Structures are given as C-alpha cells and as structure tokens.
Copies of this chain bind each other. A is one copy, B any other.
Amino acid sequence: MNVTVQFVDGPLSEAPPLRVPGAGAIARFEGAVRPMEEGAVIAGLDYTTYDPMAAQELERLARRVLEEFGLMEVHVVHSRGRVLNHEVSFRLDIASAHRKEALQGMDHFIARMKQDVPIWKAAVPA
C-alpha cells in the first residue's frame, strides 16, 4: 500500500524508518506538543476526531498529494485522546524520487490537514 492512514490512542511511539527501493528522498515530519498554546502554559492537548470522516479525509488528502507531487509513498499516523507536552501526536512519512517533491508534498499535506480534516485539539490546563 503506497498510502496508509492510522489513528492511535495517546502519544505516538517510535517507528522504524520508511525504506522504499528506488526512492532517493525519504522525509519524515513529527509534530510534538509544545508547553505553550496561544500564550498559555498547558500540560498537553486532547485530540478529538470526527469519525470515520477524519480518516477518510486524511486518506483522500494523502492520495491527492501523492498524485499531485508524484510521490512514491505517503504514510500518516495521528493521535487521538490525550498527548502530554513533548510527546509526539503526528507523523508523516513520504518517499519520492527527489527532494523537492517530498518537501513540497509534506508542507502541502500538513497545511491542508490543519485546514480541512476534522481533528480538533483542546488544551489540558497545566
């Protein structure tokens, strides 16, 4: 499968690197929870997803970015539920022939995800 989408309860654990024969560029982005959210000190974030639409939208976005940027593979993992400060809540792995399309596809995917996919976060007070 050149596109996968997965939700995980709580923080993401470490994952082995993506290895794709013939790919010259392997890019990974991880999003971690920062102890400040809109100027307030927090303990973490609670993620809520609207199911099954969130997964459907992520997969549709992943396929669109794969085609638009000519990528070889796109893999997405996102937390739901509570993720504490410094823990990882999102991971995006992309493989492509060259660097440019991997980084552009990555930036595009994340921008669109934040805008369009029904995943909400609420601050956990410190």
**Which residue numbers of A lie inside 8 Å of B, CB to CB?**
14, 16-17, 19, 21-35, 86, 88, 97, 99-100, 102-103, 106-107, 110
Contacts and interface: CB of A to CB of B under 8 A. Distances in A.
Contacts of A102: 29
Contact of A21 (B14, B21, B29, B86): B86
Nearest to A14: B17
A41 to B, nearest CB: 12
Contacts of A22: 34-35, 86
Contact of A23 (B14, B16, B19, B32): B32
A-B pairs with lowest CB-CB distance, top 6: A26-B30, A28-B28, A24-B34, A103-B107, A21-B86, A27-B29
B35 A31 contact: no
A92 to B, nearest CB: 10
A97 B19 CA distance: 27
